[in-house]
Amino acid sequence: MVERNTPPTVEASLTALAVSLRGVTKAYDNGITALGPFDLTVRKGEFISLLGPSGCGKSTALRIIAGLSAPSSGTVRVARHKGSVQPGHVQPGHVQPGHVQPGHGIGFVFQEPTLMPWTSVRENVRLPLRLARVPKADARARADEALASVGLADFADAYPRELSGGMKMRVSLARALVTDPEILLMDEPFAALDEITRFRLNNDLLALWRRLGKTVIFVTHSVFESVYLSQRVVVMTARPGRIQADIRIETVEPRGEEFRTSAAYSDYCRRVSAALAPSYSGQSTL
């Protein structure tokens, strides 16, 4: 079913929305139905996490929001610019041409930093601007600014092989931010990092989010990480992924290490774990 006739009252409130998915499903050619029907509304400037068991369709949902994959059915609306969500929908069966070109309002950070090993950190970060044909001097300044925002101002001329895993992920984040997107999609970006590095990147990401006011949709397997970072944790069912629970995390802002060790944090982690448990029922725990 494709939703085409959104009631006017809902349409008006969409001006405050960054992302709206309605009845979205995804069936791959191999017959696997990965997602849905999936409904998700994300307000501008919100930080939400998608949490769910392996294979429940989290990456599929992100890829559909990014326009990298077309839904099999349903409606996808994404605010790519400073204004309201775009009236154009991604229709089932095809992806709009140019839907996810760099500079079109979405930054994507993958689990692997996927840096080009043969060129400098600055050139890696500048890539989306090169593809968007931004003049070199301007692109260089913007790449350096993005690198400074992730604490890597001194590493612009370094090569990826000279960086730690955490630093590579910072470069990947700078590359996603360099086009100043409205929305940042992050697919388990810190999963491969050690815990201390991960905590540090969590704090730096929160600081960036507060400063830049981006909408962030963050995919993770970690209850602890989702509660620490997000204003809302959206818990998904096992495949095909649907919404199991939508839990608002309310605490004193800005968050910091005091929150991580607080009773409120433990309580939220317990609540989110309890909401997640049914998604794992019937699955092997090995």
Ligand X SMILES: Nc1ncnc2c1ncn2[C@@H]1O[C@H](COP(=O)(O)OP(=O)(O)OP(=O)(O)O)[C@@H](O)[C@H]1O
Binding site for ligand X (CB under 6 A): 28, 30, 32, 34, 52, 54-60, 221, 239
Closer to ligand X by CB, 214 or 239: give it.
239
54 versus 119: smaller Cβ distance to ligand X: 54
Residue with Cβ nearer ligand X (41 or 59): 59
User: Cβ of residue 53: shortest distance to ligand X, in angstroms?
Assistant: 7
Backbone angles phi and psi of 43, in degrees to 5? -80, 155
Min dist CB 73 to ligand X, Å, is 16
Residue 187 CB, shortest distance to ligand X, in Å, is 7
Residue 12: C-alpha distances to residues 15, 56, 206 (Å): 6, 32, 30
CB of 186 to ligand X, least distance (A): 12
Which of residues 36 and 102 has its CB atom nearest to ligand X in the complex? 36
Buried/exposed code over 69-98 (b: 16+ C-beta within 10 A; e: otherwise): bbbbbbbbbbbbeeebbbeebbbbeebeee
* 65: nearest Cα among 225, 183, 235, 238: 183
Output 20 or 60, the one with its CB closest to ligand X.
60
- For residues 127 and 142, give the distance between their C-alpha atoms in angstroms, rounded to a whole number: 11
Q: How far is the CB of 217 from ligand X (least distance, A)?
A: 13
Question: At 28, phi and psi to the nearest 5?
Answer: -80, 165
Main-chain phi, psi angles of 202, to 5 degrees? -55, -50
User: In the bound complex, what is the minimum distance in angstroms from residue 273's beta carbon to ligand X?
Assistant: 17
CB nearer ligand X, residue 54 or residue 164:
54
